Amino acid sequence: MSGPERRTIHMSHYQGGTLKDKLDQGDQIFKTVEDFVNTYVEDTSKRRPIKKMLVATNGIAAVRCILSIRKLLMQLFRNDRIIKFICLTTEQEIRSNAEYLKLADHFVFSPGGDNRNNYANVEEIVNHAVEKGVDAVWAGWGHASENPELPKQLATRGIVFIGPPSTAMFSLGDKIASTIIAQTLDIPTIEWSGSGLKLDLNQKRGSEYVSVTQELFNQATVSDLYEGLRALEEHKIGYPLMIKASEGGGGKGIRKCKNEADFKENFVQVQTEVPGSPIFIMKCVENARHIEVQLIADRYENVIPVFTRDCSIQRRCQKIIEEAPASIAPKDTLRLGYESAGTVEYMYLPDEDKYFFLELNPRLQVEHPCTEMLASINIPAIQMQIAMGLPLNRITDIRLFYGLDRYGTTPLPEEIVLTDTEYSVIAARITSEVGVYLPLRGEYWFLCY
């Protein structure tokens, strides 16, 4: 069976050209959020009008959320204040004159200090959401954005989490669980301590979504140095290899080992950096490119890939250069109850034209503007529309991305994967360092480049 058709998008058609003019049918203006939702969501059980939102993050993430959604509100209602934004903040944020607080309609205070007291504190977020009577919570990236307990606690109180449900967040967001699911779906994976483990899909009951059992999860982990050495031999992982903490990220809880001496030293370091996190080991694929596929999913089990990002240039296991589009767009998508924006990461071997599943990030990533600029879409606004119950084929940005009429109802073409464009977008992270590798913290007054 042949794979899906791949189509190259010529972006000039979308930017002031013939296609935009052809599809421009005039804006549909709504008086209320309820009018908008009732018009676009046929299934009454999935209609969730959002009129008040708690932004449970800070910094540029909070700014992106508010500005992106207000842009959509102006298009839909000619009123960018029809949805109220309540921002979580601290005394330190107030003193720093944070930009996002200038955009908020209201803000609520949480204890200062470590983010465990505020933005990463699920109980604190949920209490504020209930007290203020919000309809939805947006957590952005970092902090509590990948904690399955947040959507779980909000759901019990009838509050929408703008992101995936808790079960999908764990099963697909955890590095170990998601790799087991990938193996179950016959998506290529690198040799690791859980090689060969698969779910029994025959035990799935009715419409119940797939999830990884604790027993299966534990089989893929290594609890100590000696278990790690046994797994290395049993699964023929070999050196070089990577030791990873499943709850790590951003360069923490990950070490490359070239030999057994490295393994013994680095295993303890990984345990120390991410205390209590399950640990697994994986073969290190060299001369590979690190490819990210931007996914967007609705609550009707529709999932689309929106181009790719190449983040192969890294330092201290952290991305330095992001480029979109990348040279490959794997067709696999995971239809396992996932909802909202997410990113699947692959290791791609260009010489062999092979790719291997790495992990799935169940949230909006910092790098998403690269994809937005190429595809001419507004991802935070799309997230909100999905949370309100809209299917992908009724979201204007998605329809225009596929070259469909703006306000139509036709399904999205299932057999087309949109790949390369005529353009590329590059994003770079700038950090300061002491010596060769140590990052430097503090205040910066001047930047010359």
Question: What's this model's pTM, rounded to 2 decimal places?
Answer: 0.84
Q: What is the DSSP letter of 32?
A: S
Residue 303 pLDDT: 87
Residue 277 pLDDT: 92
Q: Report the 10 Å Cβ neighbour count for 52.
A: 16
**Residue 179 parent element (H or E):** helix 175-184
Domain 190-283 superfamily per CATH: ATP-grasp fold, A domain (3.30.1490.20)
Residue 330 pLDDT: 37
Alpha helices in 249-408 (DSSP H): 260-273, 368-375, 379-388, 396-401
The Cα–Cα gap between 336 and 159 comes to 22
Residue 419 pLDDT: 56
- CATH 3.40.50.20 assigned to domain 22-171? The reply is yes
The Cα–Cα gap between 241 and 282 comes to 6
pLDDT by 10s per residue, the chain, length 449: 345 454 444 433 333 333 444 344 567 899 999 999 999 999 999 999 999 999 999 999 999 999 999 999 999 999 999 999 999 999 999 999 999 999 999 999 999 999 999 999 999 999 999 999 999 999 999 999 999 999 999 999 999 999 999 988 888 888 899 899 889 888 889 999 999 999 887 665 544 566 788 999 999 999 999 999 999 999 999 999 999 998 887 678 999 999 999 999 999 999 999 999 999 999 998 888 888 888 999 999 888 888 877 775 444 444 434 444 443 433 344 446 789 999 888 888 888 888 888 888 899 988 898 889 888 999 999 999 999 999 999 999 999 998 899 999 999 987 665 655 677 888 777 777 776 666 777 777 777 76
User: What is the CA 335 to chain-centroid distance, rounded?
Assistant: 15
The Cα–Cα gap between 243 and 216 comes to 19
Q: Taking the domains of the chain in order of start, what are their residue ranges?
A: 22-171, 190-283, 289-428
Residue 318 pLDDT: 47
Domain 289-428 superfamily per CATH: ATP-grasp fold, B domain (3.30.470.20)
Asked if the peptide bond before residue 413 counts as cis, ω within 30 degrees of 0, the response is no
Per-residue burial over 337-358, b = 16 or more CB atoms within 10 Å of its CB, e = otherwise: bbbbbbbbbbbbeeeeeebbbb
3-state class of 47 per DSSP? coil
**Residue 142 CA: distances (Å) to CA of 120, 161, 231, 300, 361:** 8, 15, 31, 27, 11
Dihedral sign of CA atoms 355, 361, 367, 368 in order = positive
Active site (annotated) includes residue 363: yes
CB 283 within 8 A of CB 241: yes
Residue 166 pLDDT: 92
3-state class of 353 per DSSP? coil
CB 323 within 8 A of CB 348: no
HSE of 205 in the Cβ direction (CA atoms, 13 Å)? 0
**pLDDT digits over 165-223, tens only?**
998 888 888 889 989 988 988 888 999 999 999 988 766 554 456 678 899 999 999 99
Catalytic residue selected from 363, 394, 399, 441: 363
Those residues whose C-beta lies under 8 Å from the C-beta of residue 93, and which sit 6 or more positions away, are: 58, 101
The Cα–Cα gap between 306 and 367 comes to 13
Residue 346 pLDDT: 87
Alpha helices in 287-417 (DSSP H): 368-375, 379-388, 396-401
The Cα–Cα gap between 291 and 347 comes to 6
**Residue tagged 């309820």 (tokens):** 34
Counting DSSP H helices and E strands in the chain, the numbers are: 15, 18
